[in-house]
Amino acid sequence: MKKILIAGEGGQGAQSIAEILALAAHKADLKTSYIPNFGVEQRGGVSLAFVQISNDPINYPKFDRADILLIMCNRAVSVVKEFIGENTLVIFDGSFVSDDKLQELQGVVKSYLSLPAKNIAQEKFGLKSTNMLFLGAIYHEVLEIPKEMISTAINEKFAAYPEFQQNNKKAFEAGLQYATSKPDQQFKGRQKQEVKTVYEDDQKSWERFPQYCKGCMLCAVRCPKNAITMGKDLNFLGTQMPEVDIEKCIACGKCMEICPDGAIKLEKH
**pLDDT tens string 157-196:** 999 988 889 999 999 999 999 999 977 788 998 876 556 7
Q: Tell me whether the CATH fold assigned to 2-181 matches the one assigned to 197-268.
A: no
CATH fold of the domain at 2-181: Pyruvate-ferredoxin Oxidoreductase; domain 3 (3.40.920)
In the three-class reduction of DSSP (H, G, I as helix; E, B as strand; rest coil), residue 83 is classed as helix
Q: Express each pLDDT in 104-121 by its tens digit.
A: 999 999 999 999 998 999
Contact 88, 109 (CB under 8 A): yes
Contact 90, 84 (CB under 8 A): yes
Question: What is the number of helices (H) and of strands (E) in the chain?
Answer: 9, 11
Q: CATH number of the domain at 197-268, out of 3.80.10.10, 3.30.450.20, 3.40.50.150, 3.30.70.20?
A: 3.30.70.20
Supply the pTM of this predicted model: 0.76
- Tell me phi and psi for residue 200, to 5 degrees: -155, 160
In the three-class reduction of DSSP (H, G, I as helix; E, B as strand; rest coil), residue 97 is classed as coil
Domain locations in the chain?
2-181, 197-268
Question: Quick one: angle between helices 130-139 and 162-181, nearest 10?
Answer: 50
End-to-end Cα separation, the chain, in angstroms? 60
- Tell me phi and psi for residue 183, to 5 degrees: -65, 165
Residue-level pLDDT, tens digit, the chain, 269 residues: 999 999 998 778 999 999 999 999 999 999 999 999 976 544 456 899 999 999 999 999 899 999 999 999 888 999 999 999 999 999 999 988 989 899 999 999 999 999 999 899 989 998 889 999 999 999 999 989 999 999 999 999 999 988 889 999 999 999 999 999 977 788 998 876 556 788 999 899 999 988 788 888 999 999 999 999 998 887 767 788 999 999 999 999 999 999 987 889 999 98
